[in-house]
Amino acid sequence: MLLSLLTWLTPLFAILLPIVSIFMILLILIQRGKGGGLVGAFGGAGGQSAFGAKAGDLFTKITIVVVCIWLAICIGLLLGMKHGANTRKGIGEGRTSVPITEEVPAMPSIPMPATE
């Protein structure tokens, strides 16, 4: 049942993965680091948070949740792709082979014109 659920969730996971990845990158970039981090690169003050004093704790918790969601999407996408690869038939699978009994005639030789 879970594997049949993954067949239609795989395209959804493939769409959600880049969205969650970009959100996670932006979330990490706006966090306040001990030395200012990358917040200062965008014109912010290195030691201050633009979102208040308690925003660092909130961003840390949100980042942990987003990372867990990202990992779940990655694992779901991996399992869905693995299940999809097992259910599809490859080239030549499920077909009966017929032996070739005819011989192909040799190509007739064409006389080349004489060169001077």
Indicate if the alpha-carbon torsion angle 27, 30, 34, 37 is positive or negative. Answer: positive
pLDDT at 45: 53
Stated pTM of the model: 0.55
Enumerate the domain spans of the chain: 2-34+50-87
Closest CA to 19 of 55, 69, 53: 69
- 3-state SS track over 38-95: CCHHHCCCCCCCCCCCCHHHHHHHHHHHHHHHHHHHHHHHHHHHHHHHHHCCCCCCCC
Cα 61 from Cα 72, distance rounded (Å)? 17
Q: At what angle do helices 55-87 and 2-29 cross, to 10 degrees?
A: 150
pLDDT at 40: 56
Per-position pLDDT tens, the chain of length 116: 666 666 778 889 999 999 999 999 999 988 876 655 555 566 655 555 555 555 567 888 999 999 999 999 999 888 888 876 655 555 555 555 666 667 767 777 777 777 76
